[in-house]
Amino acid sequence: MDGKAPLLSAIKNDLLEFAQLLLAAGANANAKDVDGTAALLCAASFGHTKLGFALLAAGAEVDAADRDGATALLIAAEVGDTELALGLLKAGACSNVRVSLRPFPVFLFCAALFFLVAYFLVAYLLLSIHSFSPDKCRTSAA
């Protein structure tokens, strides 16, 4: 368990009956993990369709978003869970979601670093080849 909400542990471990018991006992259907990801998004990301429907039935916010702006509908579509995606749309999920490109600058930095390292490696190899002289090998062998 993550120490924050037993419901999230049940969702992550695909324990439908346990999650239903927790919800019936009053667990918050909008519980969030330590990263701020709502329970419904967790269910969608793990492909736990029945858990997603149980959360919706218990009043989970249909358009809850993670820190990047992704909603359960977007995540269900990404993992190919059409049943949950259709259920979310029927429950009123917004289909016009815009997601933050926060990871994109990190990707650009990594790509630039890769090309910089590759550039210096090629330059080093070219200089090594250019400075290599077969005469030096013959002189030292003699």
Q: What is the pTM of this model?
A: 0.66
- How many domains does the chain divide into? 2
Task: Give the pLDDT confidence score for residue 132 in this predicted structure.
Answer: 60
For residues 36 and 141, the model is more confident at: 36
Task: Give the residue-averaged pLDDT of 78-102.
Answer: 79
> Over 80: is that where the pLDDT of 110 sits?
no
Same domain, 11 and 61: yes
Give burial (CB, 10 Å; 0-12/13-18/19+) of 16: middle
Task: Give the pLDDT confidence score for residue 140 in this predicted structure.
Answer: 52
For residue 113, what pLDDT band results from cuts at 50, 70 and 90?
Answer: confident
The 3-state secondary structure of 80-108 reads CCHHHHHHHHHCCCCCCCCCCCCHHHHHH
98 part of a folded domain: no
pLDDT digits (tens, 9 = 90+) for 65-88: 888 888 888 888 888 888 998 899
Nearest C-alpha neighbor of 81 from the set 45, 41, 38: 45
Owning domain of residue 84: 6-90
Nearest C-alpha neighbor of 30 from the set 57, 4, 55: 55
Q: Say how many C-beta atoms besides its own lie within 10 A of residue 56's C-beta.
A: 22
Q: Which of 32-36, 127-131, 138-142 bottoms out in mean pLDDT, i.e. has the lowest?
A: 138-142
